[in-house]
Amino acid sequence: MNTVDGPGRASRAVAVTGMAVTTGYGHGVDALRQGIWSGEPAFVPVTRFDTSRYAVGVAAESPGAVDLDSELIALTAEALAQAGLSESERADAPLVMARHADPAVSRLPREEQESRPISETARWLSRELGLGGAGRTYINACVAASTAIAEAAALISSGRNDRVVVAGGHLVDAESFTTFNAGKALAKDGRLRPFSSGRKGLLLGDGVGAVVLEAVDSRPDMRPLARLSGWGMAGDAHHVCQPHPQGLGTARAITRALDRAGLGPADLDYVNAHGTGTPYNDSAETAALHLAFGEHAERIPVSSTKSMHGHALQAAGLVEFVICVLALQQGSLPVNSGYLGPDPDCRLDLVLDSPRQVEARHVLSLNAAFGGANTALVVSAA
């Protein structure tokens, strides 16, 4: 399927054909589906390392011993199997990644670090799974996975590739706890309460996963789970770590994604918000939604599922992308957990108390990061 996307630019439609994920609810998409639609947060006392010196000791830590490389290879293999790619089709698909630098590399003697670039994981994963080589590894924090997904879509849309695999991961570790604790960003009350009065901050969560994106109709036996119909990226041009208070960058990213999808705000059935539960983010994100959606801003259902699976940092966009696909499949929107009451700076139609039955056609996934980075992905029913 080809569409005309702006003056003189032909583009190919992008399908999601495989996805797999591990979160605080455990291994697999089914565990995530059951956990999120139960409405019960996955936050538990952290057992992976000693948290006694931190202000907060809980996170959405997946049960049992979890190793990032083992999860990455298992989940990417699962996503490839679901997509049903042949050996030659796998060999045709590059792997784009999202992750942070491995702290283990920082503990090596300095002269050994040079041979361990951050992109090493992508090279290894591509080689082990017979993929078409390592693409770029995105390390831009909380938008790393969503930016990787946007690049994959652009590679397919432009005709460079018929299919691209995106993998990413973040496991709760002492290093991320140390920096978030130092920044006083963790919620001392042990709950992540997006868009709520009395919100105290965020909580971290495990997130590892992979998705397979393909050009629609690029092979005869394709079984699309959903379509990635729009993507947009924009900067705030404002501050190192604070979002623009009027949400300028997020609003621009939303508008770019909707324009690419050929949709308007009235077409959107749900927004999976970045919603970190920090005072700054949630009010700025609300402002962005009002700026981008105008009169529709308070009628489009919104939730931040970080309230249940925590903030998966570099993998956040991947986990939340999978939840958007599930929302389309379920005909049900996940809740915004931890809500205590309205905040006048967060006037939105939040999904509260229980999942809302909606046969959604188009949903929006938002992410933002330090440096003023913003991404928006429009996910549409297959």
Active site members: 142, 274, 311
The yes or no reply on residue 183 touching other proteins (CB under 8 A) is: yes
Query: DSSP secondary-structure letter at 242?
Result: S
Q: How many Cα atoms sit within 13 Å of 329 on the Cβ side?
A: 15
Minimum distance, C-beta of residue 103 to other proteins, in the bound complex (Å): 5
Could you tell me how many residues of this chain bind other proteins (CB under 8 A)? 69
Taking CB under 8 A as the criterion, which residues in 225-264 touch other proteins?
Answer: 232-241, 248-249, 252, 256, 260
- Residue 152 or residue 302: which is nearer to other proteins going by CB? 152
What is the Cα–Cα distance from 365 to 151, expressed in whole angstroms?
15
The yes or no reply on residue 127 touching other proteins (CB under 8 A) is: no
Q: Are strands 134-138 and 95-98 parallel, antiparallel or unpaired?
A: parallel
The yes or no reply on residue 172 touching other proteins (CB under 8 A) is: no
Taking CB under 8 A as the criterion, which residues in 267-306 touch other proteins?
Answer: none
Q: Give, in order, the Cα–Cα distances in Å from 247 to each of 127, 244, 254, 277, 371.
A: 41, 5, 11, 16, 14
Minimum distance, C-beta of residue 290 to other proteins, in the bound complex (Å): 19
**Considering only 67-75, 108-116, 261-269, 285-293, which stretch makes contact with other proteins by CB under 8 A?**
108-116
The yes or no reply on residue 367 touching other proteins (CB under 8 A) is: no
The yes or no reply on residue 103 touching other proteins (CB under 8 A) is: yes
**Considering only 21-29, 132-140, 265-273, 303-311, which stretch makes contact with other proteins by CB under 8 A?**
132-140
User: Which of 95, 98, 93 shows the shortest CA–CA distance to 68?
Assistant: 98
46 token code pair: 């952290």
Which residues are CB-contacts of 8 (< 8 A; sequence separation ≥ 6)? none
Show contacts of 177-180: CB within 8 Å, 24+ apart.
Answer: 177/46, 177/49, 177/51, 177/54, 177/59, 177/204, 178/54, 180/204
Please say whether the beta carbons of 99 and 316 come within 8 A. no
Taking CB under 8 A as the criterion, which residues in 15-54 touch other proteins?
Answer: 53
**String of b and e for 328-353 (b: at least 16 CB within 10 Å)?**
bebebbbbbbbbeeebeebebbbbee
Minimum distance, C-beta of residue 278 to other proteins, in the bound complex (Å): 12
280 token code pair: 């700054």
What is the Cα–Cα distance from 58 to 47, expressed in whole angstroms?
9
Q: Which of 17, 22, 76, 157 binds other proteins (CB under 8 A)?
A: 157
Q: Which of 39, 55, 181, 349 binds other proteins (CB under 8 A)?
A: 181
Q: Which of 182, 266, 340, 352 binds other proteins (CB under 8 A)?
A: 182
Minimum distance, C-beta of residue 107 to other proteins, in the bound complex (Å): 6
Q: Which of 28, 39, 48, 123 binds other proteins (CB under 8 A)?
A: 123
Residues in touch with other proteins (CB under 8 A): 5-6, 9, 53, 101, 103, 105-107, 110-111, 113-114, 116-119, 122-123, 133-141, 143-144, 147, 150-151, 154-155, 157-158, 160, 174-175, 178-185, 232-241, 248-249, 252, 256, 260, 369-374
